[in-house]
Structure 1
Amino acid sequence: MAVQYITFTIAGGLYGIEVLQVEETLGHHNRTPVPLAPRGVAGLVNLRGQVVTTIDVRPKLGLPALSQDEESMMVVIDLHGESMSLLVDEVGEVLSVEADAFEPAPPTLSEEVRELVTGAYKLEGRLLLTLDVAAAVAA
């Protein structure tokens, strides 16, 4: 049985979120900063009248946070009925992978990365890391 993932890159790494969790993908939007927000909260974005919290997962991956004016893309997800967006470098394609090819996250990944992924799929020449959405947006 095949599973579909929306793919995206962050600092050269290939990540994916199951299609059913993704509402939409968008280009760069200006973010309104939130004073004293927890680490990783990149700001708020107005999407067609709905205020959406934007999360930068880079700090949780052990990477420097994006600056407010850096061009990024957004993957808008639905988490328990609430829309949130994740900042990513670039949105890729929808990939279908066989569910039985799913493997645990490789031990060679950093601890920060292993805490944010549920596992991996070996693709031709690349590794697709499946992002744990709940862990990625947790404060």
Structure 2
Amino acid sequence: MTATTLRSAAAQYCTFWAGGLCFGIAVEGVQEVLRYQSMTPVRRAPAAVHGLINLRGQIVTALDLRCLLGLPARDDSALPMNVIVRSRGEVVSLLVDDIGDVIDTAGLDLEPAPSNLPSTVQEVVTGVLSFPETILLVLDADRAVDVTTVPDPSGGTP
């Protein structure tokens, strides 16, 4: 193991896509994945907060991962999927483009994030895992859901 590689902390990752990038969160941090859920808008919330969903009686904030990472907006005709994650004792929904598989990464080394990624993505990625068909960006859910660091040029949802 070299100074630039780290042993992958998790053995399995739940994978998903946002803005053409493949992300993964350790399965221990994912509660469930769901198809699109209707949302209640939150007035004056940051742009990344798309609304609240009712998850079997629990109110969950839905955050658009594309917006959080400064990626181009999703086409209005494409409905997002929900990755329900646990972060800092809370349950949060990350709105993503598509859900992938749960993949086993046992024995793979976590490499540093490439410098050509947008800085907003680099800030929330703990490293990458290389596969023949894609590069998996390992997402730190705690950093990703931090809406206080997201620039909000729109001034929030009216």
> How high is the TM-score relative to the length of structure 1?
0.91
After superposition, give the CA deviation of every residue in 1:3-50 in whole Å (9 maximum; x if it has no partner): 100000012211000000000000000111111112311110001111
Unaligned runs of 5+ residues in structure 2 are 1-7, 148-158
Equivalent residue, structure 1, for 2:88? 80
Go from structure 1 to structure 2 and tell me whether the alpha carbon gap of 1:51 and 1:86 turns closer, same or farther (over 3 Å shift): same
Go from structure 1 to structure 2 and tell me whether the alpha carbon gap of 1:68 and 1:47 turns closer, same or farther (over 3 Å shift): farther
Q: Is 1:107 aligned with 2:115? A: yes
Of 40-49 and 61-70, deviating more is 61-70
From 110, 119, 135, give the equivalent of 1:127: 135
Answer 1 or 2: which has greater strand percent: 1
Kept in 1, the 8 Å contact 2:19–2:72? The answer is no
From 68, 74, 97, give the equivalent of 2:105: 97
In the TM superposition, residue 98 of structure 1 has moved relative to its aligned partner by 2.9
Q: Is 1:5 aligned with 2:13? A: yes
After superposition, give the CA deviation of every residue in 1:40-89 in whole Å (9 maximum; x if it has no partner): 11110001111000111212322234477741110101112211110011
From 47, 52, 61, give the equivalent of 1:39: 47
Unaligned runs of 5+ residues in structure 1 are none
Alpha-carbon distance in structure 1 between the residues aligned to 2:127 and 2:109: 10
Kept in 1, the 8 Å contact 2:68–2:145? The answer is no
Of 53-62 and 129-138, deviating more is 53-62
Structure 1 or 2, whichever has the larger Rg, is 2
Alpha-carbon distance in structure 2 between the residues aligned to 1:75 and 1:59: 15
Alpha-carbon distance in structure 1 between the residues aligned to 2:15 and 2:21: 10
The CA RMSD over aligned residues, in Å, is 1.9
Kept in 2, the 8 Å contact 1:34–1:43? The answer is yes
Equivalent residue, structure 2, for 1:19? 27
Amino acid at match of 1:62: G
Go from structure 1 to structure 2 and tell me whether the alpha carbon gap of 1:66 and 1:31 turns closer, same or farther (over 3 Å shift): farther
Alpha-carbon distance in structure 2 between the residues aligned to 1:98 and 1:104: 17
Q: How many percent identity over aligned positions?
A: 44
> How high is the TM-score relative to the length of structure 2?
0.81
In the TM superposition, residue 115 of structure 1 has moved relative to its aligned partner by 1.0
Alpha-carbon distance in structure 2 between the residues aligned to 1:22 and 1:7: 10
